[in-house]
A and B are shown apart, each in its own frame.
Chain A
């Protein structure tokens, strides 16, 4: 690991101030913050609804399957779909990160 004092150390400060790098960070935040808020709310809605409105959640919705079970089941698909969105966005961030490194002749 090169320490920042050594002469061949990468120009951390310069990269950090680079507009393309700042845009990359902003892009990531724009995805990660809302996506995290969404899955936390979606997930905690389950124990809250099941815990405090058990009557409502026991109502059969689809055949004999009730709202509680279907909502729990939907959490699995929510997690997978959100992960797929993240991966798609992350492929774009990878290209942007590589472009930043190329600009500084580091890749």
Chain B
């Protein structure tokens, strides 16, 4: 394969990209302005008035969930490691079966704005809400820092004359504007626009990849099974459909497969505990629409992750890993933009870059609003003020201030952590969601005996064990210069889920059995009826 022409243009930054970024920013700011004019009151600010339709919410869930790590990261992982990268794609979709079967409808029927609403329903509200709020803020902040650091590194590569710091500040300020002024309605529409852009960009790239192979699958697959590139200076030809190039036991001292299983567990159970995904179910009128929106999300998310086959293997075959290079260094995150450049020239490169930018903005906006909603509703109103209403709009005001503070802290941290590889923070966010939030959510729906002590223990143990295990894992500890902590890792897996999730459930069970609380079991009857009939569920606001 002749890669020379791509090499020559590989590091070109694009002015067209700048204009497309600005067009996207202008469109989203217009949406924010419109949202600010069309909403007042807490239900409008926190839940978009619960008037989002099923397909709209499905798109928004997709826009909330498909991060730059998926779009650029998975495409890059497939481009460099073939099949093992595709293995990631699968878990992100299958995870929605847990959301659909177990969480979406009961959550909508029993809560108001946050995950903690459902947990606090039959428990003593203050300890449960305080703990759930801590867990929500932890998950959202970790996830956000990973996104912001990625955003800075990416935008710096894509836009001429923009530094890392400028990129981080730009992304941070935009997300603060969306959330502070436009609330959930603006966030929702930013996510919908992003989902449409991401799907159309991926579809366009997929079609162009197939055109490169004369629309012949056998030709495409033949190319995937014979990818030639330089490995440590030697030209090798590899079958990229073969599993094990990245996580195989042979290349990971035997722990790779177990790590993959651990990651899979965190994905499949963690998605249903991600606060920024859960809050989306409060934006629709009822549980039936919540269900429909999960189905729409599964169609959109599934279609996108299926297309990573074309993006990733397309980059592997058309560019080969040899030509996915920025400033003389291999850069797997740039696989999709460089593939676009090779297939569609500067305009397509600009478009795909703008899509990546939109992707980051929609995700960080979703994280910011879920964090600030939890702080205002769970911590401020219900823990500090014992649910006593103060001034009617105080909750919204606190949320706006929180969004500003969370945004400012994220900007500072993202600039400070510039030189550190923070990709493991995404894995940590999923692990905490799966180990701390999911056990509490599932058991509060299905186990009559479950009580306050159980819920608090589950969240505390899940949160602490995920964080401790990741600190002593190879993600943080190592004996090379890049390691954050110097020393041989004490825990062999990069993903703690395999251990921390069972610990979370164990904490839930032991905490429950070692305490006595009659109220939670009595209230379970009411929760059961509400969750399964929708009786007494929060209504959509009048227009």
Name A's B-contacting residues (CB within 8 A): 1-2, 4, 10, 12-13, 15-16, 21, 24-25, 28, 32, 35-36, 39-40, 43-44, 46-48, 50-52, 54, 57-58, 63-66, 68-69, 72-73, 75-76, 78-80, 82-83, 86-87, 90, 93-94, 97, 100-101, 106
Question: Are B241 and A72 in touch, CB under 8 angstroms?
Answer: no
**A and B contact pairs by CB, cutoff 8 A, 9 listed:** A21-B529, A25-B532, A35-B97, A46-B87, A46-B90, A51-B244, A51-B256, A51-B258, A68-B83
A53 to chain B, nearest CB (A): 9
Instruction: Out of B222, B257, B261, name the residue touching A64 (CB < 8 Å).
Output: B222
Most chain B beta carbons < 10 A, residue from A32, A54, A72:
A54
Question: Are A39 and B97 in touch, CB under 8 angstroms?
Answer: yes
Give the contacts of B86-125 with A (CB-CB under 8 A).
86-87, 89-91, 93-94, 96-98, 100-102
In the bound assembly, the distance between CA atoms of A2 and B536 in angstroms comes to 8
- Chain A residues, CB < 8 A from B295: 83, 87
Q: Taking the complex as formed, is B306 at the interface, i.e. its CB lies under 8 A from any CB of chain A?
A: yes
- Chain A residues, CB < 8 A from B257: 47-48, 50-52
- Chain A residues, CB < 8 A from B478: none
Name B's A-contacting residues (CB within 8 A): 83, 86-87, 89-91, 93-94, 96-98, 100-102, 218, 221-222, 225, 239, 241-244, 247-249, 256-258, 260-261, 264-265, 268, 288, 291, 294-295, 298-299, 302, 305-306, 525-526, 528-529, 532-536, 538
Q: Contacts A43-B91, A48-B261; is A86 near B532 (CB within 8 Å)? A: no
Closest to A106 in B: B535
B373 to chain A, nearest CB (A): 18
- Chain A residues, CB < 8 A from B538: 1
- Chain A residues, CB < 8 A from B526: 4, 12, 16
Closest to B446 in A: A29
Question: Are B87 and A47 in touch, CB under 8 angstroms?
Answer: yes
Question: Are B260 and A97 in touch, CB under 8 angstroms?
Answer: no
Q: Contacts A16-B525, A39-B97, A100-B533; is A63 near B221 (CB within 8 Å)? A: yes
- Chain A residues, CB < 8 A from B261: 44, 47-48, 51
Question: Are B535 and A47 in touch, CB under 8 angstroms?
Answer: no
B539 to chain A, nearest CB (A): 11
Question: Are B302 and A80 in touch, CB under 8 angstroms?
Answer: yes
Instruction: Out of A13, A57, A90, name the residue touching B243 (CB < 8 Å).
Output: A57
- Chain A residues, CB < 8 A from B83: 50, 68-69, 72
Closest to B264 in A: A47
Known: A21-B532, A57-B243, A65-B221. 6 other contacts (CB 8 A): A25-B532, A47-B261, A50-B83, A66-B241, A75-B90, A97-B534
Q: Contacts A10-B535, A24-B532, A51-B249; is A44 near B264 (CB within 8 Å)? A: yes
In the bound assembly, the distance between CA atoms of A36 and B443 in angstroms comes to 15
Question: Are A76 and B93 in touch, CB under 8 angstroms?
Answer: yes
Closest to A57 in B: B243
Question: Are B535 and A64 in touch, CB under 8 angstroms?
Answer: no
Question: Nearest 9 CB-CB pairs, A to B?
Answer: A51-B257, A12-B526, A47-B260, A50-B243, A54-B244, A16-B525, A68-B243, A97-B533, A75-B90
B203 to chain A, nearest CB (A): 16
Q: Contacts A36-B102, A72-B87, A76-B90; is A51 near B260 (CB within 8 Å)? A: yes
Question: Are B533 and A15 in touch, CB under 8 angstroms?
Answer: yes
- Chain B residues, CB < 8 A from A79: 93-94, 96-97, 298, 302
Question: Are A66 and B102 in touch, CB under 8 angstroms?
Answer: no
- Chain A residues, CB < 8 A from B302: 76, 79-80
B385 to chain A, nearest CB (A): 17
Question: Are A39 and B87 in touch, CB under 8 angstroms?
Answer: no
- Chain A residues, CB < 8 A from B306: 73, 76
Closest to B240 in A: A69
In the bound assembly, the distance between CA atoms of A26 and B500 in angstroms comes to 31
Question: Are B529 and A69 in touch, CB under 8 angstroms?
Answer: no
In the bound assembly, the distance between CA atoms of A7 and B298 in angstroms comes to 43
- Chain B residues, CB < 8 A from A82: 97
- Chain A residues, CB < 8 A from B264: 43-44, 46-47
- Chain B residues, CB < 8 A from A39: 94, 97
Most chain B beta carbons < 10 A, residue from A32, A47, A63, A101:
A47
- Chain A residues, CB < 8 A from B288: 94
- Chain A residues, CB < 8 A from B101: 32, 35-36, 86
- Chain A residues, CB < 8 A from B258: 51
Closest to A82 in B: B97
- Chain B residues, CB < 8 A from A83: 96-97, 100, 294-295, 298
A14 to chain B, nearest CB (A): 9
Q: Contacts A32-B101, A86-B100, A101-B533; is A72 near B90 (CB within 8 Å)? A: yes
Most chain A beta carbons < 10 A, residue from B86, B93, B97, B306:
B97
A43 to chain B, nearest CB (A): 5
In the bound assembly, the distance between CA atoms of A13 and B294 in angstroms comes to 31
- Chain B residues, CB < 8 A from A43: 90-91, 94, 264, 268
A102 to chain B, nearest CB (A): 11
Question: Are A16 and B528 in touch, CB under 8 angstroms?
Answer: yes
- Chain B residues, CB < 8 A from A106: 535
- Chain B residues, CB < 8 A from A21: 529, 532-533
Q: Contacts A36-B102, A51-B258; is A87 near B90 (CB within 8 Å)? A: no
- Chain A residues, CB < 8 A from B299: 80
In the bound assembly, the distance between CA atoms of A93 and B109 in angstroms comes to 15
Closest to B530 in A: A12
In the bound assembly, the distance between CA atoms of A5 and B280 in angstroms comes to 31
B505 to chain A, nearest CB (A): 14
Closest to A71 in B: B90
